[in-house]
Amino acid sequence: MKGRSFETPLEHRRLLRLVREYRCAGYDVVLYPTDEDLPQVLKGCSIGLIAKGEEEVVVADVRSRPNLTLNGSADLRRLAEKVESLPGWQFNLVVTNPRQPKAS
């Protein structure tokens, strides 16, 4: 599994944690889905993971604050709208930031 070119190591680690969380909750998870894994409306979209449950499918992505606007927040809005146009699908965006060093 290879990350996306704009993805930071922090984002990748958080995405891997998200994969474990969804699997523990009983979802079948595909990390970095390809076009073959996606419905027509989502083909070509950059997606971190899809998690398929009994009654829903979750499309999730992780971004750090600097990468939130890398391609413009409009891209994230469009992706969310496409996902939510599919019955039983939802989009989850997880924002992560580096930990601040503790003050001495």
CATH code of the domain covering residue 28: 3.40.1350
Residues 58-86 have a mean pLDDT of: 85
In this predicted structure, what is the pLDDT of residue 76?
85
For residue 60, what is the enclosing H or E element? strand 57-64
User: How many separate domains does the chain show?
Assistant: 1
How many alpha carbons lie under 13 Å from residue 14 in its C-beta half-sphere? 18
**Using 50, 70 and 90 to split pLDDT, how confident is the model at 26?**
very high
In this predicted structure, what is the pLDDT of residue 102?
65
Residues 68-82 have a mean pLDDT of: 80
Domain that holds residue 75: 9-96
Measured between alpha carbons, how far is 59 from 13 in angstroms, rounded to an integer?
A: 17
Q: 61: alpha, beta or left, given left = phi > 0 and alpha = psi -120 to 50?
A: beta
Query: Residue 44 — φ and ψ, nearest 5°?
Result: 90, -10
- Is 104 inside a domain boundary? no
- Is 1 inside a domain boundary? no
